[in-house]
Amino acid sequence: MNTLKKAYCRVYQAGFRLALPLLPYREPKILKTVGGAAKLIRAKGGKKVMIVTDAGITKLGIHENLINQLKIQGVDYVIYDKTVPNPTFDNVEEAYALYKKEGCDCLIGLGGGSSMDCAKGVGARAARPKKTIDKLMGKFKVFKKIPLLIAIPTTAGTGSEVTVASVLTNSETQTKYPIYDFFLIPYYAVHDWRLTAGLPKHLTATTGMDALTHAVEAYIGRSTTKHTRKLSEDAVKLIHDNLYDAYLDGHNEKARQNILYASYLAGASFTQSYVGYVHGLAHALGGKYGTPHGLANSVILPHFLRAYGKAVEKKLAKLARITCEANVFDDDHAACEKFISWVEEMNEKMEIPRYIEGIDPADFDFMAGRADKEANPLYPVPVLMDKNELVKMYRVVCGNVREHNFKKASEAGLREHDAHRAHVKKSS
Ligand SMILES: NC(=O)c1ccc[n+]([C@@H]2O[C@H](COP(=O)([O-])OP(=O)(O)OC[C@H]3O[C@@H](n4cnc5c(N)ncnc54)[C@H](O)[C@@H]3O)[C@@H](O)[C@H]2O)c1
Ligand SMILES: [Fe+2]
């Protein structure tokens, strides 16, 4: 990235960092059961609730207890279960049309990040009925209270129940990007590990690594506070100590509970301290190829941690020490390497591939453009990269480099990146 653009990005980010203490972040009140959610709706005078979910959830019957509880409380409901992974503008519009037709006055997002984000989108539409969802994308365009929204996560990964974001896809342009608005933070969330118990192994793995990505990207970014650093550290430790156990045994109560909490902590951290290029690349892949979000992040994360090099060494070394991956004899360089190796090992143990496969290199340019647009200037990443550098990172994460060895490929990406940076420095 050229010096002028770099300066612009850093000044922009500094503005947001200075404003951080003034911004109205809040956290949802956590309920323990779906019965608590039903009681709450009744207590708040809700007449008819729309449950926004997906077909996987209804097929498995994960929604049934919620329905029974709503019936006990005498709360009427309607179900929208057509949310797709990487939820679309069409999902939101279709669900909102149903919300209006059925005379609903409150919302439950039941499912993974896709269902919760779709519910947030419907809330945004209800607050701004004259604007279609495409007009509400971006920053602070909703800016109005949405109807009562209760988020009920059934995956432990996105932390959407505590964030300002809803990430939606425009299927026509094959682009995926977020709405950010404080009014989208749900006032209530249900944390019940039993809803996540049936999550298949590969989804436990990739959604858990998504949570890790949130914690780590927020932590290595430049807009952290003491509070968000602690949130990230706690999340990383919990994921380190519990994700693999949850992967091995989905009914391990302690592991499931801890991962669900970790996902929340990581969400609380990144919603204030942002994510980074890992998410930028993952969102562009989701928009263009429908790559599942957690999978994309899991694969991309270690490549970027290597590419960031020295800029993240101290912080990753600290995470290595917190998780006991490093010992007292390790200097920062060795400890950092141990943390990245642990991330790679987790991926390997949980059968997450080393590269994103099946991507046409002809699309790198388009996707890098999208990632650049999403991340720059907003995300306070440790090392700034422009579109060309992000194209190179796509080459690395898609295995489009000569080396077939994972580590070598990442290192090759880093070398390319460093050489390019040196070249830019020399010529500027
Ligand atoms: N708003 C935010 O702050 C935020 C943060 C991160 C990610 N996201 C978004 O969230 C989406 C990804 O969410 P996700 O990773 O939770 O996956 P998802 O919501 O797309 O769900 C993936 C699959 O898991 C199934 N599933 C969910 N819970 C299950 C359970 N308990 N048992 C069995 N199957 C279950 C679903 O039916 C679905 O088929 C992406 O669109 C991503 O961009 C949003
Ligand atoms: Fe994410």
Choose the CATH number for 3-20+199-427 among 1.10.274.10, 3.90.230.10, 3.40.50.2300, 1.20.1090.10. 1.20.1090.10
| 329-373 confidence digits (pLDDT tens) | 999 999 999 999 999 999 999 999 999 999 999 999 999 999 999
Give per-residue burial for 65-84: e unless 16+ CB within 10 Å, then b.
bbbebbeebebebbbbbbbb
| 22-61 confidence digits (pLDDT tens) | 899 999 999 999 999 999 999 999 999 999 999 999 999 9
| 151-167 confidence digits (pLDDT tens) | 999 999 999 999 999 99
Residue 44 exposed, middle or buried by CB count within 10 Å (0-12, 13-18, 19+): middle
Pairing relationship of beta strands 175-180 and 165-170 according to DSSP bridges: antiparallel
**Which residues keep their CB under 5 angstroms from ion ligand 2?**
210
pLDDT at 400: 83
| 125-141 confidence digits (pLDDT tens) | 999 999 999 999 999 99
- Minimal CA–CA distance to 205: which of 406, 305, 345, 61? 345
Residue 311 near residue 416 (C-beta atoms within 8 A): no
Alpha helices in 26-78 (DSSP H): 34-43, 55-60, 64-72
Give per-residue burial for 293-323: e unless 16+ CB within 10 Å, then b.
bbbbbbbbbbbbbbbbeeebbebbbbbbbbb
Whole-number Å distance, alpha carbon 219 to ligand 1 midpoint, is 23
Is 68's pLDDT higher than 90?
yes
| 100-113 confidence digits (pLDDT tens) | 999 999 999 999 99
Q: Is the peptide bond before 377 cis (omega within 30 degrees of 0)?
A: yes
Name the band, by pLDDT with cuts 50, 70 and 90, for residue 317.
very high
Whole-number Å distance, alpha carbon 428 to ligand 2 midpoint, is 35
Whether 54 lines ligand 1, by a CB cut-off of 6 Å, is yes
| 176-215 confidence digits (pLDDT tens) | 999 999 999 999 999 999 999 999 999 999 999 999 999 9
Name the band, by pLDDT with cuts 50, 70 and 90, for residue 404.
very low
Query: Relative to the alpha carbon of 295, which ligand is closest?
Result: 1
Name the band, by pLDDT with cuts 50, 70 and 90, for residue 405.
very low
Domains of the chain by residue range: 3-20+199-427, 32-196
| 279-316 confidence digits (pLDDT tens) | 999 999 999 999 999 999 999 999 999 999 999 999 99
Reported CATH class of domain 32-196 = alpha beta
| Nearest atom (ligand 1) to Cα of 178 | 1
Whether 86 lines ligand 1, by a CB cut-off of 6 Å, is yes
